[in-house]
Amino acid sequence: MKLEKLSKLDKIRSLHGGYWRYGFLDFYYLFNSYFPNKKIYGILGKELSSLVPNYPSTQKVIAKSFSKWNKKKYFNEDNLIISNGSSELIAILNRLITKIVIPIPTFNEYVRLPKEKIILFPLKEKNNFQLDSGELIETIRKTKSEYTVINNPNNPTGNVTTKKEIKKILKTGIITIIDEAFIDFCKEYSVEDLVPKYKNLVIIKSLTKGMGLGGLRIGYLLTTNGKIKDEIRKYLPIWNINSLAERFIELFPDFKKDYDDSIQRIIKNRNSLFKKLKEIPYLESYKPFANFIFCKTKISSRKIAETLFNKHNILIK
């Protein structure tokens, strides 16, 4: 459909970004209102005249710098690949995947593969969209799939899969991609520490969702799987991270406590909003583990979105 024939709401949604120009409250994409803090912005602002004209470092140098974010031995430059957001990694993985089981609903970047490569695994509403690892494993075996992907917490339902359930899947030997874009809001569910134990485990994480770095475009992949690392690096451009993002990576360890504090503030705000949403009779709100709340509506969700945008200047999904 041509842009001029779309409604005002659909025109904005079709842009997929650049929303700072338009002056509405953006709840379509996710922000951290408390991080980066003013000190970080101050440092980056002062250094812009050096950062903008200079090329960034190559992947190996940036991965080494990024490895300082975590003191665990497995979190090292050999096991890390730093990306221009997680979408860059997903696009490259899509080149490698032959057949994959994808629980849905899920982050839409994962379902852009050719249809013949995808086995959709619908999550059941009657089970609150909770993943059943036994049924997933059965589907994997029946379809002879080589990959599966689990968003944890899931996007868009906001629920989690336990480490115990993920271990069951890993033990089948299937290459298991765990997208932990929202894991900072429920760190106890992370399976990052399983990376040294399972070569078939691939962790992907976007820094956009928790840190609010949509414009800097930073993500990473963590795995001990040599074949996957080699294949992904083969498709990466020599400079895939810009200088501003690289400088942020260098600065972050000094501001980790500020970031952790910001996450706690968001969780508190989220819980307060969840409580208030539960009072609205035409909404059924699902318990959130991320920084968003998934709701089922008894009236038109389209009407809610249009009313909020057209009358209140608020954009939602």
Same domain, 141 and 237: yes
* 255 Cβ contact partners less than 8 Å away, ≥ 6 residues apart: 35, 36, 37, 39, 40
Residues 122 and 194 in one domain: yes
Name the region of 11 (left: φ>0; alpha: ψ -120 to 50; beta: rest). Answer: alpha
Task: Find out whether 246 and 65 touch, Cβ atoms under 8 Å.
Answer: yes
Nearest to 221 by CA among 79, 38, 51, 57: 79
User: 107 and 235: one domain?
Assistant: yes
43 within some domain: no
- What are the residue ranges in the chain where pLDDT is below 70? 1-5
**Tens digit of each residue's pLDDT (9 = 90 or more) over 193-238:** 999 999 999 999 999 889 989 999 999 999 999 999 999 999 999 9
Query: 262 and 246 in one domain?
Result: no
Domain end, chosen from 255, 274, 290, is at 255
| C-alpha triplet 158, 164, 170: angle, nearest 5° | 95
The size of the chain, in residues, is 317
Q: Are residues 56 and 182 in the same domain?
A: yes
Q: Quick check: is 44 in a domain?
A: no
Residue 174, Ramachandran bin (φ over 0: left; ψ between -120 and 50: alpha; else beta): beta
- Which 3-state string (H, E, C) describes 54-104? CCCCCHHHHHHHHHHHCCCCCCCCCCEEEECHHHHHHHHHHHHCCCEEEEE
Q: Structurally, how many domains does the chain consist of?
A: 2
pTM of structure:
0.95
What is the DSSP secondary structure assignment for residue 150, as one 8-state letter? Answer: E
Residue 270 and residue 249 share a domain: no
pLDDT, residue 2, reads: 52
Print the domain residue range for 99.
49-255
* Amino acid 3: pLDDT: 54
Return the closest-CA partner of residue 164 out of 131, 141, 123. Answer: 131
Q: Does any domain span residue 188?
A: yes
Q: Are 264 and 237 in a shared domain?
A: no
